Amino acid sequence: MSTLVAQSITRVFGRFTAVDHISFEVGEGEVFGILGPNGAGKTTTIKVLTTLLPLTSGTATVAGFDVTQQPAQVRAVIGYVPQLISADPLVTGYDNLRVFARLYQVPRAERDARIESALEFMGLSEFARTPVKYYSGGMIRRLEIAQALLHRPRILFLDEPTVGLDPVARDAVWGQIERLREEFRTSVVLTTHYMEEADRLCDRLAIMHRGRIVASGPPSSLKADMGTPGATLEDVFAHFAGEGLDTGVGFRETQRTRRTAIRLE
């Protein structure tokens, strides 16, 4: 059974359709990527799947629970790292995790061990007692992933996990996502507009454009389907969306992405 099944999901804001009847499935231990330019509807897709936004129409189940009918059960089995920075700079890494360990009802006796192993897994043990305002961008992202893993979710949603990170920090995050799949068979849904990220991490990919999935499949077959030897994902994207990645960027989207990037510096 697929860990996630989305059937014709749609989200409308006023008269604007941000997510337009898209369907996809994500299997156990699979890393599924949603690749698209700013404003494509990636974040909106993640928000409806994580119960933050009600669906306008369509259905989605996560680990068998319906996101509209059983939001509480869905929340218990998912982990989520938002596009914006979600670690609190005022407290330590440890305290950032402590509150969530309790919200997720990790048994009291196990809490400390669980927090420590999550920090360890993300390579942050040394910095557990440091206030997050002294963390680098890469460390903050890793802390956020650590937090999202505390309750051993069946599926992890990562919204642009490496935006604003330098290549070294980006590589570290990629490595950890790969380990997660290997060691725990956690399913991952990630959004990105980095071709390289999509290529390296994702078992399957959906190319999203203006609220629709315009192509999907493993990166290798998407490229092979182009018929031109040496085709890149960039070419695939240009083919399906009819334009490059750098179009359709409004003020609001740019401001939001930049805000994330600035805070990560």
Partner 1 sequence: MAATPSVPAVGLGRRLATQLDRTFAIVDYEVRKLRRDPSELLLRAVQPALWLLVFGEVFTEVHVIPTGNLTYLQFLAPGVLSQSVLFIAIFYGIASIRERELGIIYKFLVSPASRISLVTGKALSASVRGLSQATIVYLLAIALGVHPSLDPLDILGVLVAVVLGASLFATLSMIIASLVKTQERFLGIGQLLTMPLFFASSAIYPISIMPTWLRPIAYANPLTYLVDAVRKLMIPASTSVFPLAVDFAVLLGATIVLILVESRLYPRMAQ
Ligand X SMILES: Nc1ncnc2c1ncn2[C@@H]1O[C@H](COP(=O)(O)OP(=O)(O)OP(=O)(O)O)[C@@H](O)[C@H]1O
The residues that touch partner 1, with contacts defined as CB under 8 A, are 1, 5, 47, 50-53, 61, 63-66, 70, 72-73, 75-76, 78, 80, 82-91, 95, 98-100, 102-105, 131, 147-148, 263
**257 contributes a contact to Mg ion by CB under 5 A:** no
Candidates 3, 43, 147, 187: give the one binding Mg ion (CB under 5 A).
43
**92 contributes a contact to Mg ion by CB under 5 A:** no
Q: Which residues contact 14 (CB under 8 A, 6 or more apart)?
A: none
Q: How far is the CB of 222 from partner 1 (least distance, A)?
A: 27
**82 contributes a contact to ligand X by CB under 6 A:** no
**60 contributes a contact to ligand X by CB under 6 A:** no
Task: Give the one entry of Mg ion, partner 1, ligand X, none that residue 40 binds, where binding means its C-beta sits below a cut-off of 5 to 8 angstroms depending on kind.
Answer: ligand X
Q: How far is the CB of 84 from partner 1 (least distance, A)?
A: 3
Burial pattern 178-200, b for ≥16 Cβ within 10 A else e, equals eebbeeeebbbbbbbbbbebbbe
Nearer to partner 1, 49 or 236 (CB): 49
Candidates 40, 124, 201, 245: give the one binding ligand X (CB under 6 A).
40
**45 contributes a contact to Mg ion by CB under 5 A:** no
- Only one of the segments 54-62, 78-86, 109-117, 143-151 lies at the binding site for Mg ion (rule: CB under 5 A); that segment is 78-86
Nearer to ligand X, 22 or 78 (CB): 22
Q: How far is the CB of 45 from partner 1 (least distance, A)?
A: 14
**164 contributes a contact to ligand X by CB under 6 A:** no
**92 contributes a contact to ligand X by CB under 6 A:** no
Task: Give the one entry of partner 1, Mg ion, ligand X, none that residue 29 binds, where binding means its C-beta sits below a cut-off of 5 to 8 angstroms depending on kind.
Answer: none
Q: Which residues contact 150 (CB under 8 A, 6 or more apart)?
A: 97, 100, 101, 104, 106, 114, 115, 118
Nearer to partner 1, 88 or 199 (CB): 88
- The residues binding ligand X (CB under 6 A) are 13, 16, 18, 36, 38-44, 83, 193, 252-253, 256-257
